Amino acid sequence: MLQVKHLLAEKGSQIYTIGPDEPVLTAIQIMADRYIGALLVMRGDELLGIVSERDYARKVILRGHSSSNTPVRDIMTAPVLTVAPADTVETCMRLCTDRRVRHLPVVDKGKVVGVVSIGDLVKAVISEQGTQIEQLQRYIAG
């Protein structure tokens, strides 16, 4: 079974972060510029939370707050649900489904080493299933 470390080896371990005191407007601009749906909220190497487009929609827009006057810490999700590099794709899929999250920071020995999204997980499952189908077809034909 594929593990998170295999996904990170393929996709890379790039993370995008924002500080807790930054305005929400800055977070939204970074997400738009990077074509991503969430940012890790960090102070130095410390993971404080995660802020997503969903947080923005539900905690700023729907409540009538100002994006430029609201700090990220006021809308971030904390504590953050994290996974380890040795966790399986199946475990991550279950977490995303059960906890209704779309992004999982990957933490190894207390340090953030990457992020996997539901899209990364679905892509990995589809790829693995395709490989299994090819192997079965070769077995049947051979």
Instruction: List beta partners, residue 108.
Output: 111
Residue (of 16, 17, 29, 21) closest to 69 by Cα position: 21
Q: How many angstroms separate the CA atoms of 29 and 31, rounded?
A: 5
Q: How many angstroms separate the CA atoms of 59 and 20, rounded?
A: 15
Measure the CA angle with vertex 123, ends 84 and 94; round to 5°: 50
Question: DSSP letter at 76?
Answer: -
Q: How many angstroms separate the CA atoms of 58 and 77, rounded?
A: 12
pLDDT at 61: 80
Domains of the chain with CATH codes: 4-141 (3.10.580.10)
Q: Which residues of the chain have pLDDT under 70?
A: none
The secondary structure of the chain in percent helix, strand, coil, rounded to multiples of 5, reads 45, 25, 30
pLDDT at 125: 87
